[in-house]
Amino acid sequence: MPLPADTDVSTPKFLRDKYAIVGIGETTYTRGSDKTTRALGTWALRNAAEDAGIKTSDIDGMLSYSNNDSTSATFMAGDIGARLNFYMDCVGGGSSTEALIGIAIGVMEAGLCNCVALFRAMNGFSQVRIGGTGARSATPVGGDMLHSRAYGWQSAGQMFSPTFMRHMYEYGTRPEQVAMVKVVHSEHASNNPKAYYKKRYTVDDVLESRIICKPLHLLDCCVETDNATAIIITRADRAKDMRHTPALIRGIAGRCSKPRMDMHYQAGPISRVGGYYAKDILWPNAGVGPEDIDATGAYDAFTFTSMLQLEDYGFCKKGESGDYVSSGITRLGGRRPNNTSGGHLCEGYTHGMNMVIENVRQLRHDVDDSCPVGADGKRQHTYDYREGGCRQVKDIEVTANLGWANPMTGSAMVMRRG
């Protein structure tokens, strides 16, 4: 006799809350880091170990992802003085963060190692530009790429736009609704001293910015930055000895995809994204649903990517994300803020890492805003979200990260305050 959803989970229930994110680290979000990805990655890992309150040599597993634009665990391990029992450098961009955290849990559960660090180091502005311009855009076009690049169809924005345009056609999504994603995330960034862009933008600012690839204006696109980010994962029982309140991992969906990954537009509806399938893994695994989530980290490579994921994961009805992001729900002070750091649109572009890092800080109730630090070393949050003010979500307990690779593939993770 089958039980409800819980019987059909890919993560056994006993893994819920068994592993935690205990350390987070990043380098300054810049354009022009003047450092190699190796140097950036080393500093992010050192910062994450210090944040966790462990020695870098306590790290015995390492994961990374890149698109041939970064260093690898083989260099990082030596640079932090760690001897590894497991490592893996994966090909990938967005949606890798949550997926690789899932792999970290798997290798620890299998007894291969005890403490896994995940890093992403990139000079996304000054070396291999994330927007697709520069050396990568002028490479010869061969084989299967003749069906895309030969048509000037190559960058992320270009590859995703047919999905965005069809969504507007099918559901009547309006440009000024889409622009609200940037408006809200820029409000959050204005309360984040680390954010590359701290300026608050208006709907008109977005709509008056130049068209990159219709339906995308310049301000619908994320910021290209140089930075490295790192996350340390270990068993929750070990987390007790560490510096901060752990962010317990409830459940994960990793690189869950639509059919026809060779060209996903062959399967429809094309306004549907990978989250449509991932939600059926995520929520049963985590034992919660969208209504239980206090803050989301819906990947904002573009304004549209946050929206399409929020609706396919069930935070609103299909087609109604334009209303959802315009309603105030996703704002600090709203029912369920999204990307409280300013995300990829404003803080910096990390292929998903900074959105997980932000939710870890939120769950610690200790985001690094401008609120005064008290005698206990913790910020005294005011919950006054005016420009330059607080960005801590009050009494936050559960978060969801929705990672995006492209319209066909997504990863997700639910965390709760330990």
Partner 1 sequence: MSIQGNYLGMSLSIDDLDKENLTYFAHCARHGFHLQKCDDCGLLRYPPTTGCPWCSSPRATWTGVEGKGEVHSYEEVHHAIQPAFKAHTPYMVLLVDLDTQKGQPSEFEALRVVGNLTTQDGVLAPPELVRQVGIGTRVRLVFSDVSEGLSLPQWAIDTTAKQPDKPWRYPQE
Per DSSP, what are the bridge partners of residue 63? Answer: 88, 118
Taking the complex as a whole, the smallest distance from the CB of residue 268 to partner 1 amounts, in Å, to: 3
Strands 247-257 and 409-417: antiparallel
Taking the complex as a whole, the smallest distance from the CB of residue 203 to partner 1 amounts, in Å, to: 11
CB-nearer residue toward partner 1: 45 or 221: 221
1, 2, 262, 395: residue in contact with partner 1 (rule CB under 8 A)? 262
7, 57, 74, 133: residue in contact with partner 1 (rule CB under 8 A)? 133
Taking the complex as a whole, the smallest distance from the CB of residue 94 to partner 1 amounts, in Å, to: 18
d(CA 381, CA 392): 7
Annotated catalytic residue 171 = no
Annotated catalytic residue 349 = yes
199, 240, 260, 317: residue in contact with partner 1 (rule CB under 8 A)? 260
Residue 241 tokens, joined: 């000895």
What order of strands is seen across the sheet that includes strand 86-91? 86-91, 61-66, 115-123, 226-235, 19-26, 247-257, 409-417, 398-406, 295-298
Could you say which of 299, 313, 324, 385 is catalytic? 299
Q: Which of 243, 238, 191, 221 is nearest to 25 (CA)?
A: 243
78, 152, 328, 388: residue in contact with partner 1 (rule CB under 8 A)? 152
Q: Is 162 in the site for partner 1 (CB under 8 A)?
A: yes
Taking the complex as a whole, the smallest distance from the CB of residue 301 to partner 1 amounts, in Å, to: 15
142, 375, 376, 395: residue in contact with partner 1 (rule CB under 8 A)? 142
Applying CB under 8 A, which part among 4-12, 68-76, 135-143, 289-297 lies near partner 1?
Answer: 135-143
**For residue 112, which amino acid is it?**
L
6, 7, 57, 151: residue in contact with partner 1 (rule CB under 8 A)? 151
Cis? peptide before 269, omega within 30° of 0 = yes
Query: Up-side HSE of residue 354: CA atoms within 13 Å toward CB?
Result: 31
d(CA 65, CA 63): 7
Per DSSP, what are the bridge partners of residue 248? Answer: 20, 416
Contact between residue 72 and residue 89 where contact means Cβ atoms under 8 Å apart: yes
Where are the extended beta strands (E) located within 272-384? 295-298
234: left (phi over 0), alpha (psi -120 to 50) or beta: beta
Could you say which of 19, 29, 349, 385 is catalytic? 349
38, 46, 88, 131: residue in contact with partner 1 (rule CB under 8 A)? 131
Q: Which residues ranging from 269 to 288 are in contact with partner 1 (CB under 8 A)?
A: 269-270
Q: Is 415 helix (H, G, I), strand (E, B) or coil?
A: strand
How long a stretch of residues is the chain?
A: 418
Q: What are phi and psi of 62, to 5 degrees?
A: -145, 140
Contact between residue 66 and residue 88 where contact means Cβ atoms under 8 Å apart: no
Residue 43 tokens, joined: 């500093």
- Binding residues for partner 1, rule CB under 8 A, total 47
Show the binding pattern over residues 328-367: x = contacts partner 1 (CB under 8 A), - = does not. Answer: ----------------------------------------
Q: Is 147 in the site for partner 1 (CB under 8 A)?
A: yes
Q: Is 81 helix (H, G, I), strand (E, B) or coil?
A: coil
Taking the complex as a whole, the smallest distance from the CB of residue 347 to partner 1 amounts, in Å, to: 23
84, 207, 236, 242: residue in contact with partner 1 (rule CB under 8 A)? 207
Q: Is 135 in the site for partner 1 (CB under 8 A)?
A: no
Taking the complex as a whole, the smallest distance from the CB of residue 187 to partner 1 amounts, in Å, to: 23
Applying CB under 8 A, which part among 184-192, 268-276, 327-335, 377-385 lies near partner 1?
Answer: 268-276
12, 32, 53, 259: residue in contact with partner 1 (rule CB under 8 A)? 259
Q: Is 380 in the site for partner 1 (CB under 8 A)?
A: no
Calculate the CA dihedral of residues 385, 387, 388, 391 and round it to 10 degrees: 30
Question: Which positions lie near partner 1, rule CB under 8 A?
Answer: 131-133, 137-138, 140-144, 146-155, 158, 161-163, 165-166, 168-169, 174-175, 207, 210-215, 259-260, 262-263, 265-270
**What residues are annotated to the active site?**
299, 349
